[in-house]
Amino acid sequence: MSTNFMNNDRFMKVKLVAGDALILVDVQNDFLPGGSLPVPDGNEIVPVLNRYIVLFHAHGLPIFATRDWHPSDHCSFLQQGGSWPPHCVASTPGAAFPSSLEFPPDIHIVSKAAAPEKDAYSGFTDTKLNALLRSSGARRVFIGGISAEYCVLNTVKDAMHYHYAVFVLKDAIRAMDISSNHGRALEDMRSLGATPICFEALAA
Ligand code: VGL
Ligand code: ZN
């Protein structure tokens, strides 16, 4: 079944139109190799995302970047009884976007999970992302980033919930769990109704 889709989707073309928006999820230093909670090969998506950024920017389409933006005593950290080593502490180098990621000046940055007592995997949780998308006229969202099975998956879930048509950039996601890589997460997103695509599907 999935093999079939992979074969078909090589020929699929999607034309970018008004109402399309790009969302980059948590592409931050701490989630890249060398960071405190590295996603294996997370760095590989940066040049791919740069190509998407150039394309969306050239079409005059809005671009959003979410970031994990935790206080130093965040509840998701091991010391507070959570599951993760400290990561993406607000305003630290680990929370910064890598300098290799080429953002246009008009990018919309959305910080999330900034309250000490609550974690948030989705870019929509307690943020203005939905309002920003609506006011930009977005109807279809194209989502890539890290990690596939946590923040990308949950952002996709909420985007579906808010009735956007959702495309997952399957060449620009990576999973925390290397044993499944992003295969499992991609299947989950597909069964939610998201459409996986590669850059070649968008480029004319
Ligand atoms: C994430 C674990 C903890 C993510 C964020 O961006 O996927 N994962 N915080
Ligand atoms: Zn986090």
Q: Is residue 16 part of a domain?
A: no
Confidence (pLDDT) at 182: 65
Assigned domain for 6 exists = no
Query: Per the domain annotation, does 5 fall within a domain?
Result: no
Q: How far apart are the CA of 89 and the centre of ligand 1, in A? A: 12
Give the pLDDT of residue 179.
74
Residue 32 lies in a domain: yes
Assess whether the C-beta atom of 28 lies below 6 angstroms from ligand 1: no
Ligand 1 atom with the smallest distance to the CA of 84 is 3
Which atom of ligand 1 sits closest to the CA of residue 149? 7
Per residue, the 3-state secondary structure of the chain, as one string, reads CHHHHHHHHCCCCCCCCCCEEEEEECCCHHHCCCCCCCCCCHHHHHHHHHHHHHHHHHCCCCEEEEEECECCCCCCEHHHCCCECCCCECCCHHHCCCCCCCCCCCCEEEEECCCCCCCCCCCCCCCCHHHHHHHCCCCEEEEEEECHHHHHHHHHHHHHHCCCEEEEEEEEEECCCCCCCCHHHHHHHHHHCCEEECHHHHCC
Q: Is the CB of 68 under 6 A from ligand 1?
A: yes
The CATH number of the domain holding residue 32 is 3.40.50.850
Residues whose CB is under 5 A from ligand 2 (ion)?
68
Does residue 167's CB lie within 6 angstroms of at least one atom of ligand 1?
no
For the chain, which ranges sit under pLDDT 50? 1-5, 7
- What's the gap in Å between 53 CA and the centre of ligand 1? 22
**pLDDT at residue 3 in the model:** 46
Q: How far is the CA of 140 from the centre of ligand 1 (A)?
A: 24
In a domain, 12, yes or no: no
Residue 26 bears catalytic tag = yes
Per the structure, the complete domain to which residue 105 belongs is given by 21-203
User: What confidence tens digit (pLDDT) does each residue in 146-163 have?
Assistant: 999 999 999 999 999 999
107 lies in a domain? yes
28 occurs within a structural domain: yes
Residue 8 included in any domain = no
Interval between CA 42 and ligand 2 midpoint (Å): 15
Does 151 qualify as catalytic in the annotation? yes
Domain count, the chain: 1
